Amino acid sequence: MSCVKIIIFFSLILFTQFASAQQVEVNYHFNSSEDSLRWFKEKLHAFDNEDDLNNFLAERQSLFQKKGYLLYSYSIQRLSSQAFEIKINFKRKFDLIKIDISQIPDFLLYKAGFTSFKDDTLKIYPKEYLTFKEKILDVAARNGFPFAKIWFINSIVEKGQITSTCSFISGSKIYFDSLSIGGDVKINSKFLASYLGIHNQSGRVVAYDQSLVDAVTSKISKLNYLELTNNPEVLFEDDKAILLLKLKNKKASRFDGMLGLLPSSGSNSRPLINGYLNVHLYNPLGKGKEIKLNWLRVKQLSPIYKFSYYHPQFLKSDFNLLFNFLSLQQDSLFRNIAWQSGFTKKISLNHEYGFYYSRANTISLDESGEITYNLPSSNSKMIFDMLGFTYSLNSLDNLAFPKNGWYGNFSFELGKRRDFNDSKNNTNRFKMELNLKKFSSISKSLTFVNQLFMGYVVGGHVFSSEMFRVGGINNLRGFDENFFYTTSHIIHRLDLRLNLEENSYLIFFNDLAYLNQSDLIMSNSEGIVPYSFGTGLNLKINKGQLQLIFGLGATNESNLTLNTARFHFGYTTLF
């Protein structure tokens, strides 16, 4: 009996699918048997409703016109609520179209991709003919002629060819005049006009370009301190174009930190303050500048200070100035002081490259010659001079809380290390770093984040003061900050985010890494494999964000226990 039910069940499914596929009945009529064969040569399908049929017929018309049947047409007659009669008329096929283009400026033709013309005559195929006018008008609108008009006249049909004359009127050339900003926003109009491309840094006027207007929304979205409240509009006055924008400020500048006290030790009777403070100022003076200040101390005598400055459109050029400063001390072992200066330039909206020069001083503080940390000789001083290249990618849909898109940064440096006390330690250096992140929104409530970190330094003997330091909330959760020293590493992080509401989510994560510590004394020559997993919460509270992360971490050389658990806490205020 059960077999009979199963057969009936699948029969009903097949019947239902067949019935749904036959909801619309179509009868075709053609002028000739050749037309019928030509039509049915293409793959057909059934239609669920009238809209499905209309969409299919429109697609077919475009298909056959591209094949040369420029006069192809069809008509629909309703026979009943679910039955239609379609009359198809192919007419003749054209293989080539000759166009007199004497009225179209050559530069528009070249920019539109029509380069093979001779004696003011252009020969193109039907597929190109269908988009000819749109391409010319699009190029004209991007080169100062948004009101250009084009049409065909004196068309002659002979055999398999059409001969036509193209009439073109460009109209007056339009130039961008100014940028009008509505709304109570803190932004310099000259900076914004230059950023949007409608004003040249050198003061020269820019011809009207419709593509620049179309890109305004995307470009403004890359400035996380501004937001458009209306679609961009353009006001034309004589030969001038005024771009009208309505903007509002977004709270983007950030402040977060945590302070704690460590008990006094040794002869020091005062408790030691530890923790972190981060300040990131966006657009402080209304000209797109950025300033970052960071302080971190998780161990006694191990403070880290960072300062970064970003200056867009430096000296009214297309280049942006970068300056970074770092001071890092590791207990009583060594101190690094480094600065970096360079320039970046955007290739496109999502891509940027740059060059920089950096100099770093490393001073050994260890008086006892502690060799387990692989340090240079006591009180030695080393200087690193490096030239570097950087490339960045940013196609995130939201800068603050992305759900889709890519973020990436790649850099490599070449230079030389000089030891002032021991010239035998002088050597060339190569250093490479990669940070790649992919956001994938599976649904409104579920987002996957895949992140890859890579680092590599090589060139003679590498001291621990030169190595990468990984571990902590930014790469290996479940471990203390800067816990591992590495000469090369690969770290993969996988996050699963459950979106609770706007800017709030629950996170489950897993981190896995391979670390090479071959230049450290007593290290594992086969490398270390740390891993961690845990959960966390990012919660929007009033004007800030509360971050709570709980992680467990271990390596292939240690066991996973609750004693190794790490709890990361932070609160970020937006202003």
**Does any domain span residue 473?**
no
26-50 mean pLDDT: 83
450 shares a domain with 364: yes
Give the per-residue pLDDT at 40. Answer: 82
329 shares a domain with 450: yes
110 shares a domain with 70: no
Full domain range(s) for residue 32: 23-89
351 shares a domain with 244: no
Question: Is 143 a residue whose pLDDT tops 70?
Answer: yes
Question: Is 12 a residue whose pLDDT tops 50?
Answer: no
Give the per-residue pLDDT at 11. Answer: 44
**Does any domain span residue 483?**
no
Give the per-residue pLDDT at 169. Answer: 96
Residue 18 Cα distances to 24, 40, 125, 246, 453, angstroms: 12, 21, 42, 54, 53
345 shares a domain with 454: yes
Please state, in angstroms and rounded to a whole number, the distance separating the CA atoms of residues 383 and 154: 77
Q: Over the chain, what is the mean pLDDT?
A: 86
**Does any domain span residue 526?**
no
Question: Is 523 a residue whose pLDDT tops 90?
Answer: no
Task: Say if residues 469 and 455 touch (Cβ distance below 8 Å).
Answer: no
Give the per-residue pLDDT at 110. Answer: 94
CB atoms within 10 A of CB 290: 19
Task: Say if residues 533 and 551 touch (Cβ distance below 8 Å).
Answer: yes
Give the per-residue pLDDT at 330. Answer: 83
Give the per-residue pLDDT at 19. Answer: 42
Domain boundary among 145, 169, 193: 169
302 shares a domain with 287: yes
- Report the CATH number that the domain containing residue 221 is assigned in CATH: 3.10.20.310
Give the per-residue pLDDT at 387. Answer: 97
Give the per-residue pLDDT at 1. Answer: 44
If we measure between CA atoms, which residue out of 249, 243, 248 comes closest to residue 180? 243
Q: How many domains does the chain have?
A: 5
432 shares a domain with 381: yes
Extract the tokens encoding 507.
């996170």
Residue 338 Cα distances to 146, 224, 428, 469, angstroms: 52, 29, 18, 15
**Collapsed DSSP state (helix, strand, coil) of residue 18:** helix
Task: Say if residues 233 and 260 touch (Cβ distance below 8 Å).
Answer: no
Residue entry with tokens 């130039």: 175
455 shares a domain with 327: yes
If we measure between CA atoms, which residue out of 71, 47, 66, 69 comes closest to residue 57? 47
What is the percent of the chain where pLDDT is above 90?
53
pLDDT tens digits, 153-196: 988 888 788 999 999 999 999 999 999 999 889 899 989 999 99
Domain boundary among 466, 497, 519: 466
- What would the DSSP string read from start to end of 78-117? EEETTEEEEEEE------EEEEE-TTS-HHHHHHTT---E
Question: Is 570 a residue whose pLDDT tops 70?
Answer: yes
β-pair type (25-30, 83-89): parallel
- Minimum mean pLDDT range among 114-123, 287-296, 417-426, 534-543: 417-426
Residue entry with tokens 């609108």: 141
Residue 172 Cα distances to 136, 303, 422, angstroms: 16, 64, 72
**Collapsed DSSP state (helix, strand, coil) of residue 134:** helix
Residues 6+ positions from 267 with CB-CB distance below 8 Å: none
* Phi-psi region at 159: left, alpha or beta (left = phi > 0; alpha = psi -120 to 50): left
The continuous run of DSSP H or E covering 383 comes out as strand 381-394
**Does any domain span residue 160?**
yes
Question: Is 483 a residue whose pLDDT tops 90?
Answer: no
Question: Is 9 a residue whose pLDDT tops 70?
Answer: no
Extract the tokens encoding 356.
């920089």
Domain boundary among 169, 187, 213: 169
94-114 mean pLDDT: 93
Please state, in angstroms and rounded to a whole number, the distance separating the CA atoms of residues 375 and 372: 8
Backbone angles phi, psi at 199, to 5 degrees: -130, 140
Residues 6+ positions from 303 with CB-CB distance below 8 Å: 295, 296, 297, 327, 328, 329
pLDDT tens digits, 343-400: 999 999 999 999 999 999 888 776 554 445 566 655 567 899 999 999 999 999 988 8
542-561 mean pLDDT: 84
Please state, in angstroms and rounded to a whole number, the distance separating the CA atoms of residues 158 and 153: 15
530-553 mean pLDDT: 89
**Does any domain span residue 111?**
yes
- What would the DSSP string read from start to end of 308-319? EEEESSGGGSS-
**Does any domain span residue 567?**
no
If we measure between CA atoms, which residue out of 235, 112, 238, 111 comes closest to residue 174? 238
The model's confidence at residue 6, banded by pLDDT at 50, 70 and 90, is very low
282 shares a domain with 383: no
366 shares a domain with 240: no
Extract the tokens encoding 450.
């895949």
Give the per-residue pLDDT at 264. Answer: 57
